[in-house]
Structure 1
Amino acid sequence: MQISQKERMLLEEQRNQEEICVKKYQNYANQAQDPQLKQLFNKIATEEQHHYDIINQILNGQQPNLSHAQINQQVMFQQAQVQQMNSENVMSNQKDKVLCNDLLSTEKYVSGTYDTVIFECVNPTIRQALQHIQQDEQQHGKELFDYMNSHGMYNVK
């Protein structure tokens, strides 16, 4: 797969953003008080790692693998673990709200950067892969918003 110098530069920057997202979600999963939120952060961390891998594949000249099959198996395992923890029914707290707000802001930023990169890519395969990732990023934002809204952390008036 041919990658222009500009595409390479933009992809390397997006790969850096994905690496930051993976670390942030993993770190925040360890800090979150609510087991449901821990589960959500771990799920998204796994998906962000998949995005990182897709970009690496492109940078290495490989056809990107957009499949979520392995991720879905990991998420199902994590959900089973969290359901056991849910019996404690830990309530959300102010710290969880701060974590959620930061990650929602991160998702908004990252989704916006993908918008620019998509418009700058000539290669249709790369463009399609990045559109796939951006759609996932927007889904992450929705999941965070839904969690926050359902736990009184983000009220829509």
Structure 2
Amino acid sequence: MQSFYTTICFGVQANSSDGRRKITCVNFSSPLRNKLLRKEVVMVLTEKETAALKDLQSQEKICAKKYEKYSQQAKDPELKNLFETIQKEEQKHYESLGQVLDGTVPECDCNDSNGKDYTPKATYMSDDNSEDKMNDSFLATDCIGTEKLVSSEYNTDVFVFGEPGVRKLLADIQVEEQNHAEMLYKYKTVNRMS
């Protein structure tokens, strides 16, 4: 994929010691250039902010792929549906971070009640030691660990950003990651999984 850049020059600094004027120039990628041409308000990220966003986006991409793969491996339809739901949310997180990388902050619609409101149906009994139950227990446990890790990344990275809208978005995504872990924990609990 080829990237196109536009150089935009602005501001003339005071004469330097050698008598020359200095002009500040910045390269912008095509999406950013298009927004500037439409005179939209554009946020310019620091290198540290960009690196943090790319790391978080990479985590979200891995999570989305993991949930897609695990939804195919889950034996219980309830767990399969839960994985599919979470996969869609992880994909939305990935896309939201991409929008920030392109210079805009998407609207935050944090649904912090998903974890609280989730009431899974039990499929497995406490004395069930089947391969299917052990498989589903492993998948759910692994995903809880992943959600804890990703949530802690957001907790750390939120303070890298100066823009309040980005901090709010990251805090909202972190809450949603915690909701995912809570939903998975509830699934394990109702199915008597250790």
TM bin (shorter chain): 0.7 to 0.9
Match of 1:102 among 124, 134, 142: 142
- Gaps of at least 5 residues in structure 1 are 70-85
**Which structure dedicates a bigger proportion of its chain to helix?**
1
- 1:153 is matched with which residue? 193
Is 2:79 the partner of 1:37?
yes
Alignment of 1:33-112 (within 5 A): 33-67=75-109, 91=124, 93-112=133-152
Q: Aligned partner of 2:173: which letter? A: I
**Native 8 Å contact 1:7 1:120 kept in 2:** yes
User: Given that residues 15 and 55 in structure 1 are in contact (C-alpha distance below 8 angstroms), is that contact kept between their aligned partners in structure 2?
Assistant: yes
Distance in 2 of aligned mates of 1:67 and 1:133: 9
**How far is 1:2 from its partner?**
2.3
**Relative to structure 1, is the Cα distance of residues 22 and 127 closer, same or farther in structure 2, using a 3 angstrom cutoff?**
same
Task: State the match for 1:83 in structure 2.
Answer: none
Letter in 1 for 2:139: L
**Which residue is 1:139 aligned to?**
179
Amino acid at match of 1:97: S
Higher relative contact order (CA 8 A, sep 6+): 1
TM-score with structure 2 length normalisation?
0.66
- Describe the SS at the equivalent of 2:177: helix
Counterpart contact for 2:67–2:84, Cα < 8 Å? yes
Unaligned runs of 5+ in 2: 1-42, 112-120, 125-131
TM-score, scaled relative to structure 1: 0.81
Q: Is the 8 A contact 1:114 1:130 kept in 2?
A: yes
CA offset at residue 120 of structure 1?
1.7
Counterpart CA distance in 1 for 2:84 and 2:154 is 22
Greater CA radius of gyration, 1 or 2? 2
Q: What one-letter code is carried by the residue in structure 2 that aligns with 1:153?
A: M
Instruction: Report SS of the residue matched to 2:75.
Output: coil
Q: CA deviation at 1:4?
A: 1.2
Q: Structure 1 counterpart of 2:143, which letter?
A: L
Give the C-alpha shift of residue 65 in structure 1: 3.4
Out of 10, 22, 36, the residue aligned to residue 52 of structure 2 is 10
Q: CA shift at 1:68, angstroms?
A: 7.5
